[in-house]
Amino acid sequence: MSQDKKKKKMRLSLPEEELMNPGHVGCQGCGATLAMRYTLKALGQKVVLCIPACCWSVIDGPFPYSSLDVPIFHCAFETAAVSASGVKAGLEMVGDTETTVVAWAGDGGTFDIGIQALSGVAERNDDILYICYDNEAYMNTGIQRSSATPYGAWTTTTPVKHFKNRPKKDIDAIMAAHRIPYIATASVGYPEDLFKKAKKAKDIKGTRFLHIYAPCPVGWKSRSEDTIKLSRMVVQNATFPLYEIEWGEKYTLNIKLKEKKPIEDYLRLQGRFRHLTEKEIAYMQEEVDRKWERLLATVEGCQ
C-alpha cells in the first residue's frame, strides 16, 4: 500500500509518449538509440528525419523492427544537412511551416564527410535542426576512426601500434564560428538536459546544432551496462561538458561540476583505451584540464 503511494508521488520528468518503439535492431547498450528516443519525446510527431549512412540507417530499417513513428528520408552519406534543407523548403512550399526537419547523422557523417554540406547550411542559416549522435568512430562499417575519435583511442584503422595521436575535432567551436542561433552539447546520461535542449531547439528558427554523446559498447569495447555510467562520467570529468552557445557567442554551462573527477576511471572502463600508458593518460588529463579551464573562462566572459 505504501509503495503504491510512493509511486503516485513520483513525477515523470519526460513525457510518457514514445515515438520510438521497442524491438529496434541496435546493439545492447547502444547510446544512439537512447538519443533518438529522448529527442523524439521532445520534438513530437511533427518531424521529418533525414538520415544518411550511419548506425541509425540500419537501426530504423527492416520491418517489423522498424521502430520510428515519424517519416524518414534516407539520404546520401555526405548530404544530411542539405537534404534536410531541401525537405524544409519543400514543406514550406506546400504550406507546411510547422514541421521540424531534422538531419540526424553520426559523427562520421557530421565531422568528416558531411561537414561541407553542414557548413553550407549553417552559413545560409537554413531552418533545420541538425543532430549529431557522436559515438566517436564509424561503428556501422566496423569501427574505423573518425575525426571525432578522441586522442589515444584504438579503432581498426588506428590499431594499438599506431593509435590515434590527434585530438577530437572541436565541431562545436566550428559551428559556433558560423554564428548560428543555437548550439548545444548533450549526453544520453542526462536525459532531462537532452530533452530540454531538443525542445528549446525545436522552437528556434534557423540552423540549430545538437551534439549528443552516445556510447557504443561494441566499438569502445565497454560493457553494455556501462553506457549510462560512461555518459555521466564523461560529463563529470569534463571530457564532454554540457553547454549551450547562442549566436556563436553566448556560452552557458548547464552541468556545473562541484568536483571534477579524473579521467582515468572513465578510460579504464573502455577496452579501446586499454593500451594507454600512465604518461599518455597524464597528457590526456592535461588536455582535458586545459580545455575545461578555457571553457569556464569563456562562460564567465559571457556573464
Partner 1 sequence: MKIKGKKIADISVMIAGKAGDGVLFTGNVLAKILKRQGWWVSTYRDFPSNIRGEPTNYTIRASLEKIYGQADDIDVFMAFDCGAIIDHADKIVKGGIFLCDGLGLAHVAPSRIDGRTYHIFPLRKLARENFQSELYKNMIALGALSHILDLDFRVIEGIISETFLKRKGKKIVRKNIRAVRLGCQQAKKMIEQEEIHPLVEKKDSGRLLLSGNEAIAMGSLAAGCRYFAAYPICPATEIWQWLAVVLPEYNGLVIQTEDELAALNMALGASYAGARAMTSTSGPGASLMMEAFSLAGMAEIPVVVAHVQRVGPSTGMPTKTEQSDLDQWVYGSHGEFPRIVLSPGTIEECFEFTVKAFNLAEKYQCPVILLTEQDYGQNLRTVKKFDLTKVKIDRGKLLNQEELEGIKDYRRYKFTPDGISPRALPGMKNGLHMVESNEHDQNGYRDEDSENRIRMMQKRMRKLENAAKDLIPPRVWGDRESEFGIIGFGSTFGPIQEAIAQLKDRKIRAKYMQIRTLWPFPRKKVEEFLDSCKEVFVVENNFTGQLGQLIRSQVQMPIRIKNILKYSSQAFRPQEISSQIQMAVR
Angle at 106 between CA 102 and CA 111, to 5 degrees: 100
Q: Does the protein bind partner 1 through residue 141 (CB under 8 A)? A: yes
Q: Which cell numbers hold the place of 4?
A: 503504491
Which residues lie below 8 Å from residue 262, measured CB to CB, with a gap of 6+?
237, 285
- Choices 121-129, 134-142, 187-195, 291-299 (CB under 8 A): range interacting with partner 1: 134-142
CB of 237 to partner 1, least distance (A): 27
Establish if 270 lies at the interface with partner 1 (CB under 8 A): no
Reported in sequence order, the residue ranges of 124-223 that DSSP labels E, i.e. its strands, are: 129-134, 182-187, 208-213
DSSP state of 30: -
Contact (Cβ atoms closer than 8 angstroms) between residue 136 and residue 148: yes
SS3 category, 194: helix
Number of chain positions touching partner 1 (CB under 8 A): 36
Instruction: Please identify which residue in 115, 128, 176, 230 interacts with partner 1, judged by CB under 8 A.
Output: 115
Residue with Cβ nearer partner 1 (106 or 191): 106
**Whole-angstrom distance, CA of residue 226 vs CA of residue 222:** 7
Stated as kind and residue range, the H or E segment containing 275 is none
Contact string 161-200 vs partner 1 (x = CB under 8 A): xx--------------------------------------
Stretch in the footprint of partner 1 (CB under 8 A) among 38-46, 90-98, 120-128, 157-165: 157-165
22 contacts partner 1 (rule: CB under 8 A): no
Residues that bind partner 1 (CB under 8 A): 25-28, 53, 55, 57-59, 61-62, 65, 74, 76-78, 108, 111-113, 115, 138-142, 144-145, 147, 156-159, 161-162, 218
